[in-house]
Amino acid sequence: MRKSLFIFFTLFTVFLSACNPSDRSLAEAVRDIRETIPNFTIPVLDGYEVNSVFDISLPQSDTSAFIINYTERKGKKLKSEFGPEDSIQALYGPYEGDGLLEIGISEPVAGKSTTEYENTRTVNGLTIQYNRSVPLNAILISTEYNGLSYLASSRSITNEYEEEQFLELFTKALKELGENRNE
């Protein structure tokens, strides 16, 4: 009897976890994304944890973008505010934690970007474009690397030193992605 109850409970737990895709592991989310973008990898940012991964469908361009939200400390699982009918779906998380920075990854979309960037420079060998909004404590960075487009944003940049740290962290993570792909 106990054995049957244990088997039933185990199967029921597996069934429930399959019903809610946001209860999946980060590795499962990456496998799903690779069906759309075969060379997709989540950038590893030292000192940060991934607390959510969202698939954002862009019907006007037939392209998907995947948004990775990072935090310093991930908490308990939250209920996703998006349902299956929305163009946004949680693939992993969301978890509690202050969203300190986000990285969006997509295949490059043909045409000109609608964002005008004030600054262009090379950091860690990558040419990036970025805007800094001092009153909003925000930075927005854009680059293409290894055939993918990356857009990063943070709302916690309060001084020039932190801006430089964020640019270094972002470009270093992308460079490590490229080096790990070639191994």
pLDDT given for residue 97 in this prediction: 86
For residue 82, is it left (φ>0), alpha (ψ between -120 and 50) or beta?
beta
How many angstroms separate the CA atoms of 101 and 137, rounded?
12
Q: Where are the beta strands (DSSP E) in 42-175?
A: 49-58, 63-71, 88-92, 101-106, 119-123, 126-133, 138-145, 148-154
Predicted TM-score (pTM) of the model is 0.75
3-state DSSP assignment of residue 180: helix
Chunked mean pLDDT (size 10), the chain, 183 residues = 34 35 77 88 87 80 82 85 72 87 83 75 90 86 89 84 86 78 47
CB 74 within 8 A of CB 49: yes
Q: What is the pLDDT of residues 123-164, one digit of tens each?
A: 988 899 999 888 888 889 999 988 889 999 888 788 887 888
In this prediction, residue 83 carries a pLDDT of: 62
| Residue 19 burial class via C-beta count within 10 angstroms: exposed 0-12, middle 13-18, buried 19 and up | exposed
In the block, tokens 């969202």 appear at 54
Q: Is residue 43 within 8 Å of residue 173, measured between CB atoms? A: yes
Contact 142, 117 (CB under 8 A): yes
Instruction: State the Cα torsion 65-89-24-27 to the nearest 10°.
Output: 0
On the question of a cis peptide bond just before residue 135, with omega within 30 degrees of 0, the verdict is no
